[in-house]
């Protein structure tokens, strides 16, 4: 049985471990997973593959590794295959109004040609998924949920859709390529793709025979773009980007980059048990909207105050925090980490943690994280851990 492992580096550095739903797997298990249309390209590049959200995806590439790929995005540009992300389309008279009555953020705040980060919550205020909504028109919204949650988001929307509104699952009709980094606009511009549009807006374009959606967004904190590409055209678009000198990057670097920004990962920092109020994602909630899933529960939690809040922790000593590690103030347990990694930029361990509000912890306070039986001191900070340049 062949096991796929994270490439090691000297113990003084330590390769950041990808957290969340990504798991190492046997070759037998890989046969049951979906594959990106770029799978053969990843294999040819010597990618180490892992299971993520039901898909076999690249963790890192031969000759690169998490640290090199992370540095490429912070210093130049990297390209990620994130085709495992879901795709769903809502169409019909009143489609945008319908989506707005279901998802948390207020689509009325944006115009056609813009995208919006939003949440799909249940009646208790728990987060079924976080996703991006692309507003094409009053009768047309395109959604990008997370891989493992796409079917559930589609199911909920389909069950609630009024007559005349259709919800389709297009998960494997499109690939998604994320080109991220300070040189991303220059690279895409040389390929003839649009780059001048505002953050969280999108444009339609062609590259060869491929028709693309080019959106100014990403999950790294850097200036970047996500390209929604028809499934059969993904290889040609990938080849053009890599051929322009862009570093292929895997999900390992994607995780370290997003953690440095304090961006939540569903299933860890947001979940059915972690509300947007607790996760400090209330900015993605249209509080004044008359209707959205989970509204009453979230309003009540906001009014009463959450019992715990997501905070950033930066180690003052040596150690690599991971998820589900106990956090202490002295001898008193006050919470648990949700995500943790080594920050390649700051060269320290960083974490996100849910901390009990009753503990009275404030930014700047010192706490301890139990890392494999040793309490390592950490400073409470407000993310991001690294200054973003996304705009």
The DSSP secondary structure of 55-106, one letter per residue, reads: EEEEEE-TTTHHHHHHHHHHHS-EEEE-TTS--EEEESTTHHHHHHHHSSS-
pLDDT for 13 beyond 60: no
Write down the residue that tokens 């992300």 correspond to.
85
State both tokens at 177.
Answer: 């390529």
Q: Give the residue-averaged pLDDT of 164-169.
A: 98
**Contact criterion met (CB below 8 Å) for 153 and 121:** no
The mean of the pLDDT values for the chain is 93
pLDDT for 122 beyond 80: yes
Q: Give the residue-averaged pLDDT of 110-128.
A: 98
Tens digit of each residue's pLDDT (9 = 90 or more) over 345-390: 999 999 999 999 999 999 999 999 999 999 999 999 999 999 988 7
pLDDT for 12 beyond 60: no
Where are the alpha helices (H) located in the chain, listed in sequence order? 27-30, 39-44, 65-75, 95-102, 150-160, 184-190, 234-243, 251-261, 295-304
For the ranges 25-39, 155-169, 283-297, 313-327, the lowest mean pLDDT is seen at 25-39
pLDDT value, residue 270: 98
- Counting beta carbons within 10 angstroms of the beta carbon of residue 320, is it exposed (0 to 12), middle (13 to 18) or buried (19 or more)? buried
Position 32 confidence tier, pLDDT thresholds 50, 70, 90: confident
**Contact criterion met (CB below 8 Å) for 133 and 118:** yes
Distances (CA, A) of 52 to 57, 88, 121, 196, 233: 7, 19, 22, 33, 23
Tens digit of each residue's pLDDT (9 = 90 or more) over 41-84: 999 999 999 999 999 999 999 998 999 999 999 999 999 999 99
Tens digit of each residue's pLDDT (9 = 90 or more) over 312-354: 999 999 999 999 999 999 999 999 999 999 999 999 999 999 9
Residue 109 is classified by DSSP as: G
Rounded CA-CA distance 115/100 in Å is 13
Domains of the chain, first to last? 22-85+173-261 (3.30.1360.120), 88-169 (3.30.70.1400), 307-381 (2.40.30.110)
Q: Give the residue-averaged pLDDT of 191-196.
A: 98
pLDDT value, residue 64: 83
Distances (CA, A) of 88 to 130, 144, 215, 230: 13, 7, 16, 13
Tens digit of each residue's pLDDT (9 = 90 or more) over 228-250: 999 999 999 999 999 999 999 99
């Amino acid at each position: 049985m062949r096991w796929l492992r994270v490439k090691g580096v000297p113990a003084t550095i330590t390769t950041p471990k990808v957290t969340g739903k990504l798991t190492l797997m046997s070759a037998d298990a890989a046969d049951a997973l979906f594959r990106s249309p770029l799978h053969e390209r990843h294999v040819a590049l010597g990618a180490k593959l892992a299971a993520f959200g039901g898909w076999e995806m690249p963790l890192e590439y031969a000759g690169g590794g998490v640290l090199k790929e992370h540095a490429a995005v912070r210093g130049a540009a990297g390209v990620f295959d994130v085709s495992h992300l879901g795709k769903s389309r809502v169409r019909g008279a009143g489609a945008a109004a319908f989506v707005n009555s279901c998802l948390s953020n207020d689509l009325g705040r944006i115009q056609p040609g813009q995208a919006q980060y939003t949440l799909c919550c249940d009646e208790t205020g728990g987060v079924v998924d976080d996703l991006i909504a692309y507003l094409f028109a009053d009768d047309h919204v395109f959604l990008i949920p997370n891989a493992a949650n796409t079917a559930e988001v589609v199911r909920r929307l389909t069950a609630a859709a009024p007559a005349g509104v259709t919800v389709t699952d297009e998960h494997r009709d499109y690939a998604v390529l994320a080109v991220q980094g300070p040189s991303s606009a220059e690279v895409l511009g040389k390929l003839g793709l649009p780059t001048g549009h505002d953050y969280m807006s999108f444009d339609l374009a062609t590259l060869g025979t491929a028709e693309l959606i080019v959106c100014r967004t990403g999950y790294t904190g850097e200036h970047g773009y996500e390209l929604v590409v028809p499934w059969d055209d993904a290889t040609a678009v990938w080849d053009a980007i890599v051929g322009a000198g862009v570093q292929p990057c895997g999900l390992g670097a994607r995780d370290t980059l997003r953690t440095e920004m304090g961006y939540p990962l569903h299933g860890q920092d947001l979940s059915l048990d972690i509300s947007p109020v607790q996760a400090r994602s209330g900015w993605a909630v249209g509080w004044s909207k008359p209707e959205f899933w989970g509204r009453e529960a979230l309003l009540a939690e906001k009014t009463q105050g959450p019992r715990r809040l997501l905070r950033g922790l930066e180690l003052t000593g040596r150690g690599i925090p991971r998820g589900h590690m106990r956090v202490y103030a002295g001898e008193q347990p006050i919470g648990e980490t949700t995500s943790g990694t080594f920050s390649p930029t700051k060269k320290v361990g960083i974490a996100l943690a849910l901390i009990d509000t009753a503990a009275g912890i404030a930014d700047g306070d010192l706490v301890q994280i139990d890392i494999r039986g040793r309490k390592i001191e950490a400073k409470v900070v407000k993310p991001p851990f690294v200054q973003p340049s996304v705009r």
